Structure 1
Amino acid sequence: MEKFTIGEIEQQLFGKEEVNNEFLKALKKDSRKGVQKLVLKWERQEEQKKQVHEQFVNMTSFERKYRSEGFRYIAGIDEAGRGPLAGPVVAGAVILPENFYLPGLNDSKKLTESKRDEYFEVIMSEALAVGVGLISAAEIDEINILQASKKAMLSAVNQLGITPDFLLIDAVKLDTPYPFEALIKGDSRSISIAAASIIAKVTRDRLMKELSIEFPPYGFGANMGYGTAEHLRAIKEHGVTDHHRKTFAPVREYIQ
């Protein structure tokens, strides 16, 4: 084999989708330490890709099961924002095409913000249908957070442009005419629920960043409404806004 430089070998290994087997065999016989380090790095990368692929396939098991039973439009549903002291609870509903493939898709909380934004655009572009439901802090105070989360989920389903024939829901059971399965930790077990969790999380985070412009002392753009020390200090110093959940204990303490 022609003697390649270390830089050329690196380009061959990491600059292409596929690497020739004969080329790999030749590299493994190359006595240069730099070459062996590159080969090891490439093998680790390939193993990681394999694991990510297997994880994705495992997360399609519920979709495959219900498609085999004749269901066609399977909607994943999840919410974001149950725990914060301020802001709405937001739900996402997503119907993915059967051939959808997005390696690395997982529970939105396990992904970086940049990854969530990237996946959000892919999902919005490739999903058959996406729906979003939003329940305000005031309504959360009226009906409680569990009921608000369920209402947001039902609203998200109603916003879908396609009528679903089956629902995969993260954790909760809904009063709905559609057949469904509620999955504990569903956002890490189903690609449809994981996609819905990203839609809900990114939508809510962007709303909180908009609120942070209007209410800068509270740090909504960083804490997303959660009860951080900075947020609690701002409530103490500046009072409660219309976007705070007044029935939540830390907020309730500051209401006169």
Structure 2
Amino acid sequence: MSTIRVTGLHVRHRRTVALDSVDLDFGPGVHGLLGPNGAGKTSLIRVLATVAAPSGGRVELLGDDVSEHRERAAVRRRLGYLPQEFGYYPGFTVREFVAYVAWLKEMPVAEVPAAVERAVTRVGLADRVDAKVKTLSGGMVRRVGIAQAIVNEPDVLLLDEPTAGLDPEQRVEFRELLRELGGSSTVIVSTHLVEDVMAACTEVTLLESGRVAYRGTPESLSALGDAADGVGDNPIERGYTAALRAHRAFGVDASALEGTSR
């Protein structure tokens, strides 16, 4: 069952094509979104988060066409989104900021305090809940961002470079949280860290120059690297480079080479 479906998705930024006729669907689970800088990852996440409109194509989230304002507003209440850079009022405490986002998502007022405590605890900031966000380290601020994204127990969770600034122990804990969330939600994680994809994701999509260069499981991507003599320090890095090379050389979804294309 698909909770997200994009068909013929096209995104243009002035003269630059960010996404070129992309067809994708996602269901429950944790989906890794990989690709070099400029591949279109952030553009895709922003369109799915309904903060940017596509230049063309169709986007369906949770069964609704988000080109319609009424459906878009309803879907936003069921979304969680962490951009690469998120804004906050410096004077807010962690509790106040996460509660403010819960209010924006139109959560019932009576449910907000418990939801805030739950979200902050899940990201390991229970002991800093009343600290001002401006006093926190970069890694802690990133965890506040994750907390605000999950406060409404979203059906669709979109995370753009969520582990930036997290130390190795925090990244391990975050992967565990991702696996937990993916049991009931559709989670899409855009990242440059292929080891995070291997550890936490059930599926991986690789974008290159605005097109799909690979779609499959982390295991199948790793196998592609061994078969195609990819470059890297571990199997999934070798698969990543092999898929990019195949796409650049032949202009095809490299998963077709392994018979895993959808």
TM-score above 0.5 = no
Give the shorter-chain TM-score range.
under 0.3
Using the size of structure 1 for normalisation, the TM-score is 0.24
More helix by share: 1
